Structure 1
Amino acid sequence: MQDNSGMIWNFTKMQGTGNDFIMLDGVRQPIHMTPERARALADRHFGIGADQILLVEEPLHPEADFRYRIFNADGGEVEHCGNGARCFARFVHEQGLSHRNPLRAEISTGLIVLEETGDGEVTVDMGQTRFEPADLHFDARGLETRACADDTLYRLDPPGHEGLMWSLVAISNPHAVLQVEDVDHYPVGAIGPAIESHPRFAQHVNVGFMQIVGRRHIRLRVHERGAGETLACGTGACAAAVAGLRRGLLANPVRVDTRGGTLHIDWEGGRLRMRGPAITVFNGQVDIDALTATTRGSTRT
């Protein structure tokens, strides 16, 4: 792949329920992404600032319209991002890269389908949902478990907290979901990082904290792998809704209120769909090498 030394990158800043992204068109401009460059772009003090960097490329899969790649704020490339997927669809249409609706996007684990609905929102067919520990690269050997309707809960006790029982959900990327009484006052800042980096998760995990409001309504906070707590997490909303449905606590469809806004999740007949907003904030240009040199050695907070 071509190196972009000294090149100016065009970018678009977008957000979906407060989960914010830097969108890069790798179809009409050469983009060579590295962990260092992703960290520089995402840095909120020295860079542009974002939860994740989203890169649109020509597809490798013959049935896809585009390839969609996701880089966390820590520079690591990950499998999926639901809020980002909605922004991806809006970005492709606004940039004139394609007028197809729905779109088929290739991610690292397969294909997803995205459709703008004409009301300012985008619906994403999220793909396959899985629940075995191996699907999350999770070592469950020797752990206490408890059956809960169709779900299996696994006990993981971070320092200072005992008896916590977690649902495991893989939606391309891995999620651990905990039901709590009051999501506003729960110690997400302490428990989230401890579970994210728990040694039983070989590739770390996204950590969701779910408060059930009613049969079709939950509130949610998510500590995202490689990004910390974000205002919203699309795959996290899906994972929490699915966990509640499997436990018999919820019914379709499920409204998920995050700190950044509301998402709607439907999981029926094995098909998982998410609907929510995707908003363009501004467009700009960045000298990627000058930015990387400026942010080198800085600490993102």
Structure 2
Amino acid sequence: MTSTSAAAPHRLAFTKGHGTQNDFVLLTDPDGDLPLDAVLAARLCDRRAGVGADGVIRAVRSDALPEGAAALADDPAATWFMDYRNADGSLAEMCGNGVRVLVAHLLAEGLVEEAEVRSGAGLAVGTRAGVRYVRRVRGPEGQDWLAVDMGPWHLVDPVGAAERGADAEVGVHGLDGVRRPGLSVDVGNPHTVVALASAAELEAADLVRAPEVDPPPPHGTNVELVIVEDAVGRASTSGQPLGVIRMRVHERGSGETRSCGTGACAAALAVRSWAGGAAAGAPERWLVHVPGGTVAVRALEGQRVELAGPAVLLARGEVDLGLLQG
């Protein structure tokens, strides 16, 4: 079992993993002994002077964190908490790719049992956005995937969505300078989804710089650029309609990433809303192609959403904290 106490005090044990190339440094700290602050997280994520990642995930028991008390009150089975920080060190509410990779890490470390992700609703995990449930599923081509009940979602401005299909204007660097309509979707964290006209536009967008969202969301936002390949669900692997979209994302606090789980959910739900939702027969199931691979999104009853995709553990190692801070 790897833990933060398994190495000498000046060395920190870690695991590196990714979900559709959205990559993370994973730390095992059951008792919450590691002072993971914004500075340490940012240094670990530095791709030149650190380990390199889109974020840091600390696996800590819920009863060892003040934030974990709410998770345990919601579901006493949520004994593990995902303490997640973005690449710049800022705290994040949730990460759909990250929670899958965290569960793969917990399984590999022997901290949870495989039976827990194969029975009932799945393994309960505490996050700052609430308890999430992760279960084992098969991907669209028989892959061994993990699926996350991402919990409730909502349109930030339902009236604007119904009347205009948008509630914001977004300026994207690298395009024509024209602000495009954006739809705000909350999936436990904030997202603004923008539809583009072509694959050429999607490729031309400069997401090194953050898109400009007006009005500015109070806590920032992730911005998803999408093109719709099939909004009516002609594609199908199971006889059920299956929508298809392609997406790039600029993540709040991380910049452009190869994938974003909550962003994939937000993008699929926005396109489904533009297609008229359930009342118009828009698909419940969506494939979302991102630069790092493909994930599946499913609209659930009760205004909830599920995300499924791969979770890959790449390596284990130790980092010298003295050199990291030098």
Q: TM-score range by the shorter chain?
A: 0.7 to 0.9
User: 2:216 is paired with a residue of what secondary structure?
Assistant: coil
8 Å CA contact 1:157–1:163 kept in 2: the answer is yes
Read off the aligned partner of 1:203 and give its amino acid letter.
Answer: H
**Structure 2 residue aligned with 1:235:** 262
Q: Residue 156 and residue 95 in structure 1: after superposition, are their counterparts in 2 closer, same or farther (change >3 A)?
A: same
**Deviation of the 1:199 alpha carbon:** 6.4
Q: Residue 97 and residue 180 in structure 1: after superposition, are their counterparts in 2 closer, same or farther (change >3 A)?
A: same
Q: Residue 114 and residue 169 in structure 1: after superposition, are their counterparts in 2 closer, same or farther (change >3 A)?
A: same
**Structure 2 residue aligned with 1:179:** 195
User: 2:314 is paired with a residue of what secondary structure?
Assistant: strand
**Whole-angstrom distance in 1 between the partners of 2:26 and 2:80:** 14
State the TM-score, normalizing by the size of structure 1: 0.85
Deviations 1:172-225 (A, max 9, x none): 1100000112245334325960336x6622211100001000121000000111
User: What does residue range 1-301 of structure 1 map to in structure 2 within 5 Å?
Assistant: 6-27=9-30, 30-59=33-62, 60=68, 61-62=71-72, 63=76, 64-99=78-113, 100-101=116-117, 102-117=122-137, 119-132=143-156, 147-148=161-162, 152-158=165-171, 161-186=177-202, 187-189=204-206, 193-195=210-212, 200-215=216-231, 216-248=243-275, 250-269=282-301, 270-293=303-326
Regions of 4+ moved over 4 Å? 145-149
**Deviation of the 1:163 alpha carbon:** 4.5
8 Å CA contact 1:156–1:165 kept in 2: the answer is yes
**Whole-angstrom distance in 2 between the partners of 1:289 and 1:273:** 41
**Deviation of the 1:252 alpha carbon:** 1.9
8 Å CA contact 1:188–1:223 kept in 2: the answer is no
RCO higher in structure (CA 8 A, sep ≥6): 1
**Deviation of the 1:9 alpha carbon:** 1.5
8 Å CA contact 2:16–2:26 kept in 1: the answer is yes
Q: Residue 28 and residue 117 in structure 1: after superposition, are their counterparts in 2 closer, same or farther (change >3 A)?
A: farther
**Deviation of the 1:246 alpha carbon:** 1.3
Sequence identity percentage = 28
**Whole-angstrom distance in 1 between the partners of 2:161 and 2:262:** 24
User: 1:97 is paired with a residue of what secondary structure?
Assistant: coil
8 Å CA contact 1:13–1:281 kept in 2: the answer is yes
State the TM-score, normalizing by the size of structure 2: 0.79
User: 1:21 is paired with a residue of what secondary structure?
Assistant: strand
Deviations 1:61-115 (A, max 9, x none): 3221211111111110110101101101111111111112221111112111011
Gaps of 5+ in 1: 135-144, 294-301
Q: Residue 220 and residue 106 in structure 1: after superposition, are their counterparts in 2 closer, same or farther (change >3 A)?
A: same
User: 2:211 is paired with a residue of what secondary structure?
Assistant: helix
**Whole-angstrom distance in 1 between the partners of 2:83 and 2:97:** 13
**Whole-angstrom distance in 2 between the partners of 1:199 and 1:132:** 13
Question: Cα RMSD (Å) of the superposition?
Answer: 2.7
Q: Residue 106 and residue 184 in structure 1: after superposition, are their counterparts in 2 closer, same or farther (change >3 A)?
A: farther
8 Å CA contact 1:17–1:262 kept in 2: the answer is yes
Deviations 1:7-58 (A, max 9, x none): 3211100011011110110116732111111111000011110001111111
User: 1:44 is paired with a residue of what secondary structure?
Assistant: coil
